[in-house]
């Protein structure tokens, strides 16, 4: 009886070991591949940026106005003549993104904003895979698990500024599902559990940027419940 139990225990341990190996093997292989990839280093030539290998060989010729470092997943943020983008290690554009502080949109909570062919925006992950299809007129980065997005709005260029007109703002989760339905004229990202939203406000150009003016402002929690009543903002 004791010998039979020991045999069963050994069989169970072998099965558990095989399961662990199968679960962690893909991650080990991917980590090994990432470690064996030769590092690509940004370099500047004639006011344009490209990438060299660690041995000094030009891998991607200078063609960018900005070139960031490659991530472990194998993509890098750049700015070319067509605007911000993320490229692969061959220099091919993987996804187009929006501008942030004169560079490509950075990742927040593992996601960044992507641009579709019709100028709609969605979100992609750190491998360059689009996980929320471009369908919104405008969006902010994810904060505290939610992102403020606008449906039915349009982007207009007024002078040097780009402003958002019309539509309604709400909040989506990481799957792209609306957690707080579109209902506001503008919404800022969540901060410490609250988001500032407004009714009756509009965006106006201010130099190269834009600002939201007028209307009544309040704050909501992550269930969409009004925490601070709407009232005119004191400038």
pTM: 0.81
* Among 230, 171, 226, 223, CA closest to 200: 230
Per-residue pLDDT tens, the chain, 235 aa: give them: 444 445 555 555 565 555 454 555 455 445 444 445 789 999 999 999 999 999 999 999 999 999 999 999 999 999 999 999 999 999 999 999 999 888 999 999 999 999 998 889 999 999 999 999 999 999 999 999 999 999 999 888 877 777 888 999 999 999 999 999 999 999 999 999 999 999 999 888 877 778 898 999 999 999 999 999 999 987 6
CATH number, span 38-136: 2.40.128
Given a contact cutoff of 8 angstroms between Cβ atoms, the answer to whether 144 and 172 are in contact is no
* Among 67, 69, 70, 77, CA closest to 44: 67
């Amino acid at each position: 009886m004791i010998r039979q139990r020991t045999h069963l225990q050994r069989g169970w341990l072998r099965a558990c070991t095989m399961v662990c190996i199968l679960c962690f093997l893909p991650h080990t292989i991917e980590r090994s591949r990432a470690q064996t990839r030769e590092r690509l280093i940004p370099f500047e030539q004639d006011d344009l940026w490209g990438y060299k290998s660690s041995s000094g060989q030009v891998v991607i010729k200078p063609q960018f106005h900005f070139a960031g470092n490659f991530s472990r997943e194998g993509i890098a943020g750049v700015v070319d003549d067509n605007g911000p983008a993320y490229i692969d290690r061959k220099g091919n554009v993987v996804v187009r993104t929006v501008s942030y502080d004169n560079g490509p949109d950075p990742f927040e909570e593992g996601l960044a904003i992507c641009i579709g062919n019709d100028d709609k925006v969605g979100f992609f992950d750190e491998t360059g895979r689009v996980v929320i299809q471009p369908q919104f007129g405008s969006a902010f980065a994810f904060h505290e698990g939610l992102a403020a997005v606008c449906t039915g709005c349009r982007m207009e260029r007024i002078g040097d500024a780009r402003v958002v007109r019309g539509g309604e703002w709400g909040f989506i989760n990481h799957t792209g599902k609306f957690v707080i339905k579109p209902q506001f004229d503008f919404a800022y990202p969540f901060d410490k559990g609250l988001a500032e939203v407004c009714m009756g406000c509009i965006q106006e150009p201010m130099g190269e940027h834009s600002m939201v003016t007028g209307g009544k402002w309040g704050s909501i929690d992550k269930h969409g419940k009004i925490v601070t009543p709407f009232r005119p903002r004191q400038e």
